[in-house]
Amino acid sequence: MSTLEILFYALSAFAVISAAMVLISKNPIHSVLWLILVFFAISGHYILLNAQFLAIVNIIVYAGAIMVLFLFVIMLMNVKSDNEPQKKLFTKFIGVLSGGSLLTLLIALVKQTVQLEGKEVMMKEGTIGLIHPLGKALFSDYVVPFEISSVLFLSAMVGAVIIGKK
Amino acid sequence: MTILALDWGFIIEKLIMIAIIVFASLGIALYTTFGERKVAAILQDRPGPSRAGPFGLLQPLADGLKLIMKEEIIPNAANKWLFILGPGLAMTASLMSCAVIPWGSAVDVFGRHVELQIADVNIGILYVFAVVSMGVYGIMIGGWASNNKFSLMSALRAASQAISYELAMGLALIALLMTTGTLSLKTIVEQQVQGHWWNVVYQPLGFLIFFITAMAECNRTPFDLPEAENELNFGYHQEYSSMKLGFYLFAEYINMIMSSAIMACMYFGGYDLPFFNEASVAPNIAALIGVGTLLIKIVLFIFLFMWIRWTIPRFRYDQLMGLGWKTLIPLALFNMLLTGAVILAKL
């Protein structure tokens, strides 16, 4: 095995175990902390794919901002494991079933994509995840969707401010 | 085994450098606490610590020893693992940012060309920003795990303060990297070494915003709302004792050193000594002069931090939020638009 493969498998195991711990943990705060570790593992995968910019933005946005807010809300509401309502077995079963079918659907889609057939993952090479190619692609080929999504964010922000003022 | 096909010399070189930088940071942080007490004493017209050793120079060692010898207390109602994790995380996050700081130009040791930087990643500034946003977890987790309402209030304050000031900090950084065109701290410093002016000349407003937000991210007075003792007793480290408390207090000083180093690199030329041609002396000596220059700049920034701490009283919480959202963010946006307009006009 090359160093790259060892890193890949170690990171994957790390990600899967942390993701499982998010579900297993009874305490919501523990779940959030495990979820942060999942984001770190995914950022590690981005770095293996030579997408440093995506890796660090993933950490800044998800681990650094969104998860802080998650933690903030959970701490503020003081959710504890013992007073959390326990779901019925039937509800749990339905949840597993719907989640599993979504997973099957996604795997089937990825397997059938024509563009991915016979391609290998570009480890340590490829430049699309670096800041210059990514910026060029966003502001030339994909400028309309990019601007529309930024308007969407702006409207969400204005909406949040208005709701907060009430 | 291909795993052994690594450049072991490179790994050893980096390990030695990490060890030197971590221990040097801890040592400097130790003496920064002493510096803080001395600066406070001078500003308040009193002698300050003067008993342990000549001029009180052994005082930080005595303080450190005292902290280690104290009894470790973990409250019964606390969440044990997270209670221990909190100070560790605070310390790790504050030490992590030293990885991308260029401490000097390259030196030649035993025939090896050694860059005085642990990792020259091409996203250096964003890396620093990510580490800064990680820093709040130590406080939040410690405050929550203590199972004390004052600590919890303090953790919530720390989170909202960190998020509010990160926005303005990010906007100030964007304006800086519009002028430099690169995210690598090494390249930014080299541009300033070769160019005529330091970045602070091009980005004075950006520097001011960055400085204020850095102070807020380090939880320094006037922004130390998470440990406002007249409202929250001690805040997030209320329940901590011994070296766990020491880690929290130390992390603040290391944060201060690291943010001073980053400000020196981004706005004040890093290891660039003004009016001095580095090419006129041997490379190794030039590198040493560079390291010394950067250290002097760091000390000056730390002094500025302390000067402000012992001059300006703490903000009220609504003033803190008002300053962040209603003053700094619009100012940073204005700075960004201005920078963009100037760059467009120059094209």
Query: Per-residue pLDDT tens for A45-80?
Result: 888 888 888 888 888 888 888 888 888 888 877 766
Residues 6+ positions from B29 with CB-CB distance below 8 Å? B250, B253, B254, B257
**Number of A–B residue contacts, CB under 8 Å:** 73
Query: Do B226 and B219 meet the contact criterion of CB atoms below 8 Å apart?
Result: yes
For B144, which residue in chain A has the nearest alpha carbon?
A: A75
Average pLDDT over residues B219-240: 77
pLDDT at A1 (0 to 100): 66
Do residue A64 and residue B166 have CB atoms under 8 angstroms apart? yes
pLDDT at B135 (0 to 100): 82
Cα separation of B150 and B52, whole Å?
35
Q: Which residues of B touch A (CB under 8 A)?
A: 2-3, 5-6, 79, 82, 121-123, 126-127, 129-130, 133-134, 136-137, 140-141, 144, 152, 155-156, 159-160, 162-163, 166, 183
When scoring B81, B85, B100, B134 by the number of chain A Cβ atoms within 10 A, the one with the most, hence best to mutate, is B134
Confidence of residue A84 (pLDDT cuts 50, 70, 90): low
Do residue B141 and residue A53 have CB atoms under 8 angstroms apart? no
Task: Name residues 79-98 of chain A within 8 A of B (Cβ).
Answer: none
Q: The tokens of B309 are what?
A: 């701490």
Pick B3 or B335 by higher pLDDT.
Answer: B335
How crowded is residue B154: how many other Cβ atoms within 10 Å of its Cβ?
Answer: 29
When scoring A75, A76, A136, A153 by the number of chain B Cβ atoms within 10 A, the one with the most, hence best to mutate, is A75
DSSP B324: I
Average pLDDT over residues B154-181: 86
Residue at token pair 């990600």? A15
Question: Phi-psi bin for A118: left (phi > 0), alpha (psi -120 to 50), beta?
Answer: left
Residue A24, judged by CB atoms within 10 A of its CB (0-12, 13-18, 19+), counts as exposed
Average pLDDT over residues B239-256: 85
Average pLDDT over residues B321-340: 90
**From the list A30, A53, A65, which residue is nearest B133 (CB)?**
A65
Query: Alpha helices of B100-148 — where are they, by DSSP H?
Result: 124-145
Stretch among A95-99, B39-43, B225-229 having the lowest mean pLDDT: B225-229
Question: Phi-psi bin for A124: left (phi > 0), alpha (psi -120 to 50), beta?
Answer: left
Residue B341, judged by CB atoms within 10 A of its CB (0-12, 13-18, 19+), counts as exposed
Average pLDDT over residues B77-86: 84
What are the tens digits of pLDDT across the range B182-200? 888 888 888 888 877 888 8
What are the tens digits of pLDDT across the range B260-281? 998 998 888 888 777 777 777 7
Cα separation of A52 and B287, whole Å?
29
Round the average pLDDT of chain A to a whole number and report it. Answer: 84
Residue at token pair 């003067």? B50
How crowded is residue A76: how many other Cβ atoms within 10 Å of its Cβ?
Answer: 12
Do residue B163 and residue A65 have CB atoms under 8 angstroms apart? yes
Query: Do A70 and A62 meet the contact criterion of CB atoms below 8 Å apart?
Result: no
pLDDT at A90 (0 to 100): 87
Cα separation of A77 and B311, whole Å?
37
Confidence of residue B2 (pLDDT cuts 50, 70, 90): very low
- With a cut of 70, say whether residue B5 has pLDDT above it: no
Residue A142, judged by CB atoms within 10 A of its CB (0-12, 13-18, 19+), counts as exposed
Compute φ and ψ for B264, nearest 5 degrees.
Answer: -60, -40
pLDDT at A131 (0 to 100): 81
Average pLDDT over residues B145-160: 83
How many angstroms separate the most distant Cα atoms in chain B? 66
Question: Phi-psi bin for A78: left (phi > 0), alpha (psi -120 to 50), beta?
Answer: left
pLDDT at A82 (0 to 100): 60
Q: The tokens of B80 are what?
A: 């044990």
- With a cut of 70, say whether residue B3 has pLDDT above it: no
Query: Do A130 and A50 meet the contact criterion of CB atoms below 8 Å apart?
Result: yes
Average pLDDT over residues A87-103: 88
Confidence of residue B1 (pLDDT cuts 50, 70, 90): very low
Closest alpha carbon to B347 in B207, B219, B181, B203: B181
User: How many contiguous H segments (helices) and E segments (strands) does chain A have?
Assistant: 7, 0
- Angle between helix axes B8-43 and B242-267 (nearest 10 degrees) is 100
Cα separation of A44 and A8, whole Å?
9
Q: What is the ipTM of this complex?
A: 0.81
Task: Name residues 103-162 of chain A within 8 A of B (Cβ).
Answer: 130-131
On chain A, the residues whose CB falls within 8 A of the CB of B129 are 60
Residues 6+ positions from B138 with CB-CB distance below 8 Å? B86, B87, B88, B89, B90, B91, B92, B93, B248, B251
Do residue A76 and residue B156 have CB atoms under 8 angstroms apart? yes
Average pLDDT over residues B70-97: 85
Q: Cis bond leading into B274, ω under 30°?
A: no
> If DSSP codes are grouped into helix, strand and coil, which group holds residue B194?
helix
Do residue B3 and residue A64 have CB atoms under 8 angstroms apart? no
> If DSSP codes are grouped into helix, strand and coil, which group holds residue A118?
coil
Average pLDDT over residues B115-127: 81
> If DSSP codes are grouped into helix, strand and coil, which group holds residue A85?
coil
End-to-end CA distance of chain A: 60
CB of A36 less than 8 A from some CB of B: yes
CB of A68 less than 8 A from some CB of B: yes
CB of A1 less than 8 A from some CB of B: yes
pLDDT at A14 (0 to 100): 92
pLDDT at B274 (0 to 100): 79
On chain A, the residues whose CB falls within 8 A of the CB of B136 are 68
Do residue B155 and residue A75 have CB atoms under 8 angstroms apart? yes
- With a cut of 90, say whether residue A152 has pLDDT above it: yes
Residues 6+ positions from B346 with CB-CB distance below 8 Å? none
Closest alpha carbon to B205 in B160, B174, B182: B174
**DSSP conformation letters of A11-72:** HHHHHHHHHHHHHH-SSHHHHHHHHHHHHHHHHHHHHHTT-HHHHHHHIIIIIIIIHHHHHH
The percent of residues above 90 in pLDDT, for chain A, comes to 29
Compute φ and ψ for B37, nearest 5 degrees.
Answer: -65, -35
On chain B, the residues whose CB falls within 8 A of the CB of A29 are 79, 82, 141, 144
